[in-house]
Structures are given as C-alpha cells and as structure tokens.
Amino acid sequence: MVKWLLVLIIAAPIVELGLLIWAGTEIGLFPTLGLLLAIGLVGAYLARRQGLKTYRDIQESLSRGEQPAEQLVKGIFIVIGGLLLLLPGFLSDLVALTLFFQPTQKIYRPLINRWFQKRTKNARIIVQ
C-alpha cells in the first residue's frame, strides 16, 4: 500500500503538469486557466450541495436510530473529492468529480470498504 501511495505521489504531479502543458499548447493559456477555474467552481458547488445533503441524511439516520455507515462513506467521498479539487490539474478534478456521483462512487466503494476492514480487523472496543 505504501509503495503504491509513493508512486501515486510522484506520478500524479508529473501527469497533471503534462496535461496542463498539453492543454495550454492546444487551446492557449487563458482558456486553460478558465477551464480549470470553471471546473473548480462547478466542483465546489457540487461539494457543497452533496455535503449538505449527506449531512442531512446522516442526521435522519441517527434520528431513526440507525447506523449512518453508507452516509459516512459518502461523506468520505465528498471530503476526498473536495480536497482533490483544491489541487490544480485536470486529472485530479476529473477524479474529484467522479467522487460526487453515486454511480461512479460504486467503483470506489470496495476500496474504502477494504481499507476499513483492514483497519478494524484487530481493533478492540472497550466500553466502560
């Protein structure tokens, strides 16, 4: 896991920079910057809208006495997507936008579930 994370940390900025240079040469500097700004604004709007909806869904689940596990996972997707939108680049924006929509969240859900299972496998909870 750490190996893949290290590769991602090194490769992602290189790919992002390459895409930005390519877009700049194809459509020009200002259209590229405008596109990045537009994607960022749309993403910020989606993050806010989806985040508020998820917050309300969590409150509803808790008021019914249910575990809000699904809503919490969706909240994690929204937080990660919001953080990715802060990074300049088309690839990170594309991944961020896919994290906001339920059909594409199904792709990421097994990864999050596996991560949680690994973290909680040997965990002990002590209630006093």
Domain boundaries in the chain?
2-120
Residue 124 pLDDT level (bands cut at 50, 70, 90): low
CB 39 within 8 A of CB 93: yes
Would you say the C-alpha torsion 41, 45, 46, 48 has a positive or negative sign?
A: positive
How many Cβ atoms sit within 10 Å of the Cβ of residue 98? Answer: 16
Is 104 a residue whose pLDDT tops 70? yes
Is 34 a residue whose pLDDT tops 90? yes
Is 45 a residue whose pLDDT tops 70? yes
What DSSP element (H or E) covers 118? helix 102-120
The better pLDDT of the pair 101, 123 is held by 101
